[in-house]
């Protein structure tokens, strides 16, 4: 191979990679814009399935108007769940991490040890006992059953702990001399400083909510509290032959994540690097 | 009633030696900070963890029944270990991991090296490569279901284009092909995550090493073998183990696309556990599977901590 042709190898490979990634996604968009279900069936395996040639929003109207699968309700449910987990998790995990980093108690070493140890427990091992607990207290089919068990998070505590232990001791002592207790120091100084960790956890929590499937599948019974992930699966199963509608639903579900990704791309990359998402 | 002392009579407490009430308020502050997380972790993580262990020794059912729950000793475990469906799910889970981990690793390392090298429109290609990561997994599954269509979906037309003669492949309906099809989809869905980890690792290898190797006459392959792969040792261990653990958790892809079929060829440990504990409501039996699953994942997680020094 001469060096002239070798220069183009990376570009060619990068284009192949882009095609492999973009073909399935452009197929979703193209099919969602085609109102003719019969034509979709015939052309699904051809070039016409991933290069838009008609632009109609009919499928989208049908998805949004379907009374049995209320998309906007699912979206609202998902947003409530993600705001609940991320918002409450932020306060609970950050405050615990702060006490662990700057408190006095002798329990702290043990607590950190437990936080690191429980991180290896896969959530899948816990769903059945949790389900049993939740059904005995009557929490099945609710928002709290999808929020409360996931507020405290060992990974989040650990991330905040690392951040808070890195804060200068002088800062803490200055706050103490000014008469601030541990609580005030946390809310006025530590929490505002920890925005990088906050944004990381917010983005990961957001992705998690859009991907979580097993738990909401087990604890929701109908559209009232069901999140988008499970709704997408149900919609797909019930509309097997109607690819146009299914893809319109898929696009509507992907758009919020895509928008957040395009706005916060830099933070996104950094956040994902610090943890594994998706089950 | 205690008389309040006049304000001028109360001296300001010395700042150096905290008073008894100061220590008490510090204790209260610390408790207020730590208590919510401690309670939630105990109730929703540690308690279910021990419950899973306890339940695996009982014949507990999901819905309460008139006959009280009994302690059954190791019955569930002996039954699990003699259950052919469990072993099939066990084999399938390892088969999936064995296929998806090398595929995903080579895809992600290849993409990371591309994006780390000299490349025009690098940030464009990076944004594109990350798209599967921001696409919800259920959406990815739906798109691939359309591509797996028979007899002439996109993938079937593609293999015919490359000269496949046997008509069409029943991707999800053929017991030989169902798991490899799930592997393709899963590798596509999550490779950008490993790619980002590799990218961070590659950026940590000093460029001077490559320059020195070139001066010494090392060719591209030798540079890849002795500098890139060696420099990424810890990253490899991390990526291999986290990808393997992630593969063990395979559930949503098979639950949605194949329902564990055909002929149980895509049933996994997690799906079998859910099937037994949730659909068949045998919580006790399924808890034994959950405990075995935990031991499997924990072994790999501890392996990672042992293999990567001062992680």
Question: What band does B10 get if pLDDT is binned at 50, 70 and 90?
Answer: very low
The answer to whether the CB of A127 falls within 8 A of the CB of B62 is no
A96 and A139 belong to one structural domain: yes
Q: Is residue B229 part of a domain?
A: yes
Q: Please tell me which of the candidates A22, A44, A99 has its beta carbon nearest to residue B146.
A: A44
The answer to whether the CB of B300 falls within 8 A of the CB of B241 is yes
Q: Is residue B111 part of a domain?
A: yes
Which residues does chain A have within 8 Å of residue B286's beta carbon, measured at their own beta carbons?
A: 128
Q: Is residue A64 part of a domain?
A: no
Give the CA diameter of chain B: 100
Report the percentage of chain A scoring pLDDT > 90: 53
Q: Which residues 31-50 of B have a C-beta within 8 angstroms of A?
A: 32-34, 36-38, 40-41, 44-49
- A41-A47-A52 Cα angle (round to 5): 85
Q: Please tell me which of the candidates B15, B135, B286 has its beta carbon nearest to residue A128.
A: B286
A77 and A40 belong to one structural domain: no
Residue A229 and residue B47: Cβ atoms within 8 Å?
A: no
Helix boundaries (H) for chain B: 20-41, 47-55, 75-81, 84-116, 122-129, 131-134, 137-147, 154-161, 178-203, 207-215, 220-223, 229-231, 233-248, 252-257, 269-274, 283-307
Domain closes at, from A56, A83, A98: A56
Residue A125 and residue B147: Cβ atoms within 8 Å?
A: no
- The minimum CA-CA distance between A159 and chain B, rounded to whole Å, is 14
The residue with greater pLDDT, B187 or B237, is B187
Residue B45 and residue A135: Cβ atoms within 8 Å?
A: no
**Out of A6-15, A37-46, A209-218, least confident range:** A37-46
Which residues does chain B have within 8 Å of residue A254's beta carbon, measured at their own beta carbons?
A: 134-136, 139
- The minimum CA-CA distance between A90 and chain B, rounded to whole Å, is 11
The pLDDT tens digits of the residues spanning A251-261 come to 999 999 999 88
User: Could you tell me if A10 lies within 8 Å of chain B, comparing CB atoms?
Assistant: yes
Interval A217-241 mean pLDDT: 91
The pLDDT tens digits of the residues spanning A87-128 come to 999 999 999 999 999 988 889 999 999 998 898 899 999 999
Residue B37 and residue A95: Cβ atoms within 8 Å?
A: yes
Q: Is residue A49 part of a domain?
A: yes
What the block records as the tokens of A278 is 């998706």
The pLDDT tens digits of the residues spanning B105-139 come to 999 999 999 998 888 888 899 999 999 989 999 99
A119 and A220 belong to one structural domain: yes
Is the pLDDT at A241 greater than 50, yes or no?
Answer: yes
Q: What is the mean pLDDT of chain A?
A: 88
Is the pLDDT at A30 greater than 50, yes or no?
Answer: yes
How many angstroms separate the CA atoms of B159 and B165, rounded?
9
Q: Is residue B3 part of a domain?
A: no
Residue A118 and residue B49: Cβ atoms within 8 Å?
A: yes
The residue with greater pLDDT, B167 or B197, is B197
Which residues does chain A have within 8 Å of residue B190's beta carbon, measured at their own beta carbons?
A: 278
Domain closes at, from A11, A32, A56: A56
The residue with greater pLDDT, A251 or B166, is A251
Q: What pLDDT score does B11 carry?
A: 44
Q: What pLDDT score does B310 carry?
A: 55
Residue B49 and residue A126: Cβ atoms within 8 Å?
A: yes
Residue B44 and residue A150: Cβ atoms within 8 Å?
A: yes
A51 and A79 belong to one structural domain: no
Q: Is the ipTM of this complex over 0.85?
A: yes
Mutate which of A12, A16, A24 to test chain B, going by most B C-beta atoms within 10 A? A24
Continuous segment of H or E residues that includes residue A201 = helix A195-211
Residue B287 and residue A99: Cβ atoms within 8 Å?
A: no
Is the pLDDT at A141 greater than 50, yes or no?
Answer: yes
Q: What pLDDT score does A199 carry?
A: 87
- The minimum CA-CA distance between B2 and chain A, rounded to whole Å, is 26
CATH for A122: 1.10.3720.10
The answer to whether the CB of A185 falls within 8 A of the CB of A105 is no
Residue A214 and residue B270: Cβ atoms within 8 Å?
A: yes
How many angstroms separate the CA atoms of B226 and B240, rounded?
19
CB pairs under 8 A between A and B: 282
Residue B136 and residue A257: Cβ atoms within 8 Å?
A: yes
Q: What pLDDT score does A28 carry?
A: 93
The pLDDT tens digits of the residues spanning A64-95 come to 998 889 999 999 999 999 999 999 999 999 99
Q: Is residue A9 part of a domain?
A: yes
Q: What pLDDT score does B14 carry?
A: 44
Selection from B82, B247, B186 nearest residue A124 by Cα: B247
Q: Is residue B134 part of a domain?
A: yes
The pLDDT tens digits of the residues spanning B178-215 come to 999 999 999 999 999 999 989 888 888 888 888 888 88
Is the pLDDT at B291 greater than 90, yes or no?
Answer: yes
Interval B90-100 mean pLDDT: 96
Strand, coil or helix: B58? strand
Interval B69-88 mean pLDDT: 91
Count: domains in chain B: 1
Q: What pLDDT score does B22 carry?
A: 74
Mutate which of A30, A124, A239 to test chain B, going by most B C-beta atoms within 10 A? A124
Strand, coil or helix: A7? coil
Query: Domain span at residue A219?
Result: 71-273
Residue B48 and residue A182: Cβ atoms within 8 Å?
A: no
The answer to whether the CB of A228 falls within 8 A of the CB of A74 is yes
Q: Is residue A27 part of a domain?
A: yes
Q: Which of A41-50, B28-37, B88-97 has the highest mean pLDDT?
A: B88-97
Query: Domain span at residue B125?
Result: 84-307
Q: What pLDDT score does B226 carry?
A: 85
Q: Please tell me which of the candidates A45, A122, A278 has its beta carbon nearest to residue B190.
A: A278
The answer to whether the CB of A147 falls within 8 A of the CB of B71 is no
The residue with greater pLDDT, A144 or B213, is A144
Question: What band does B19 get if pLDDT is binned at 50, 70 and 90?
Answer: low
How many angstroms separate the CA atoms of A262 and B128, rounded?
11
Q: Is residue A279 part of a domain?
A: no
CATH for B253: 1.10.3720.10
A28 and A138 belong to one structural domain: no
Is the pLDDT at A263 greater than 90, yes or no?
Answer: no
Q: What is the mean pLDDT of chain B?
A: 87
Residue A183 and residue B29: Cβ atoms within 8 Å?
A: yes
Q: What pLDDT score does A131 carry?
A: 93
The pLDDT tens digits of the residues spanning B41-71 come to 999 999 999 999 999 998 888 877 777 788 8
Q: What pLDDT score does B88 carry?
A: 95
Is the pLDDT at B161 greater than 60, yes or no?
Answer: yes
A103 and A43 belong to one structural domain: no
User: Could you tell me if A47 lies within 8 Å of chain B, comparing CB atoms?
Assistant: no
Q: What pLDDT score does A264 carry?
A: 83
Q: Is residue A97 part of a domain?
A: yes
Is the pLDDT at A276 greater than 50, yes or no?
Answer: no
Is the pLDDT at A177 greater than 90, yes or no?
Answer: no
Which residues does chain A have within 8 Å of residue B60's beta carbon, measured at their own beta carbons?
A: 132
Q: Please tell me which of the candidates B138, B145, B245 has its beta carbon nearest to residue A213.
A: B138
Q: What pLDDT score does B1 carry?
A: 39
Q: What pLDDT score does A2 carry?
A: 56
pTM score of the predicted model: 0.89
Question: What band does A274 get if pLDDT is binned at 50, 70 and 90?
Answer: low
Which residues does chain B have within 8 Å of residue A241's beta carbon, measured at their own beta carbons?
A: none
Q: Is residue A164 part of a domain?
A: yes
A99 and A163 belong to one structural domain: yes
Is the pLDDT at B297 greater than 80, yes or no?
Answer: yes
Q: Please tell me which of the candidates A11, A44, A214 has its beta carbon nearest to residue B251.
A: A214
A118 and A223 belong to one structural domain: yes
Report the percentage of chain B scoring pLDDT > 90: 50
A107 φ, ψ (degrees, to nearest 5) = -70, -15
User: Could you tell me if A113 lies within 8 Å of chain B, comparing CB atoms?
Assistant: no
- The minimum CA-CA distance between A251 and chain B, rounded to whole Å, is 8
Q: Is residue A61 part of a domain?
A: no
How many angstroms separate the CA atoms of B179 and B88, rounded?
13
Tell me the residue length of chain B: 311
Count: domains in chain A: 2
Q: Which residues 187-206 of B have a C-beta within 8 angstroms of A?
A: 188-190, 192-193, 196-197, 200
Q: Which residues 142-181 of B have a C-beta within 8 angstroms of A?
A: 142-147, 149, 152-157
Question: What band does B95 get if pLDDT is binned at 50, 70 and 90?
Answer: very high
């Amino acid at each position: 191979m001469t060096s002239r042709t070798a220069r183009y190898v990376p570009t060619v490979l990068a284009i192949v990679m882009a095609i492999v990634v973009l073909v399935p996604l452009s197929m979703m968009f193209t099919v969602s814009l085609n109102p003719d279900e019969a034509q979709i069936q015939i052309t699904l395996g051809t070039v016409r399935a991933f290069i838009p040639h008609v632009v109609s929003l009919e499928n989208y109207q049908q998805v949004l108007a379907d009374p049995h699968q209320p998309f906007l309700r699912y979206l609202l449910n998902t947003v409530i769940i993600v705001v609940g987990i991320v918002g409450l998790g932020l306060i609970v995990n950050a405050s615990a991490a702060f006490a662990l980093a700057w408190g006095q108690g002798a329990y702290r070493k043990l607590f950190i040890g437990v936080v690191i140890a429980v991180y290896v427990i896969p959530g899948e091992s816990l769903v059945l006992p949790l389900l049993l607990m939740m059904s005995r207290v009557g929490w099945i089919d609710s928002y709290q059953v999808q929020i409360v068990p996931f507020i405290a998070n060992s990974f989040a505590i650990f991330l905040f702990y690392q951040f808070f232990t890195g804060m200068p001791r002088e800062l803490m002592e200055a706050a103490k001399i000014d008469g601030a207790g541990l609580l005030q120091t946390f809310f006025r100084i530590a929490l505002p400083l920890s925005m990088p960790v906050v944004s990381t956890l917010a983005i990961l929590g957001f992705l998690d909510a859009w991907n979580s499937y097993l738990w909401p599948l087990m604890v929701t019974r109908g559209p009232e509290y069901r999140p988008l992930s499970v709704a997408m699966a149900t919609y797909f199963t019930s509309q097997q032959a109607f690819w146009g509608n299914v893809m319109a639903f898929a696009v509507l579900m992907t758009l919020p994540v895509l928008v957040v990704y395009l706005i916060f791309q830099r933070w996104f990359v950094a956040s994902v690097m610090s943890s594994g998402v998706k089950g | 009633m205690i008389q309040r002392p006049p304000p001028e009579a109360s001296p300001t407490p010395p700042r150096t030696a905290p008073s008894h009430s100061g220590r008490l308020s510090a204790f209260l502050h610390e408790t207020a900070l730590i208590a919510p997380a401690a309670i939630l972790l105990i109730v929703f993580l540690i308690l279910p963890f021990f419950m899973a262990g306890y339940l695996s020794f009982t014949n507990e059912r999901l819905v309460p029944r008139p006959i009280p729950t009994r302690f059954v000793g190791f019955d569930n475990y002996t039954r699990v270990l003699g259950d052919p469906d469990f072993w099939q799910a066990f084999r399938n889970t390892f088969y999936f991991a064995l296929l998806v981990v090398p595929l995903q690793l080579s895809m992600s390392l290849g993409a990371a090296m591309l994006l780390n090298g000299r490349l025009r429109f690098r940030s464009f290609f990076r944004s594109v490569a990350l798209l599967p990561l921001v696409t919800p997994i259920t959406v990815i599954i739906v798109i691939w279901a359309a591509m797996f269509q028979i007899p002439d979906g996109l993938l079937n037309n593609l293999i015919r284009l490359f000269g496949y003669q046997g008509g069409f492949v029943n991707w999800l309906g053929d017991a030989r092909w169902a798991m490899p099809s799930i592997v393709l989809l899963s590798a596509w869905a999550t490779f950008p995550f490993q790619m980002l980890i590799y990218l961070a690792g590659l950026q940590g290898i000093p460029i001077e090493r490559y320059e020195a190797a070139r001066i010494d006459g090392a060719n591209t392959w030798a540079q890849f073998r002795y500098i890139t792969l060696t420099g990424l040792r810890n990253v490899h261990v991390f990526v291999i183990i986290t990808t393997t653990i992630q593969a063990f958790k395979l559930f949503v892809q098979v639950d949605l696309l194949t329902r564990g079929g055909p002929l149980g060829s895509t049933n996994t440990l997690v799906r079998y556990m859910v099937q037994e504990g949730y659909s068949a409501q045998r919580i006790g039996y399924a808890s034994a599977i959950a405990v075995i699953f935990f031991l499997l994942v924990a072994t790999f997680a501890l392996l990672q901590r042992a293999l990567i020094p001062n992680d």
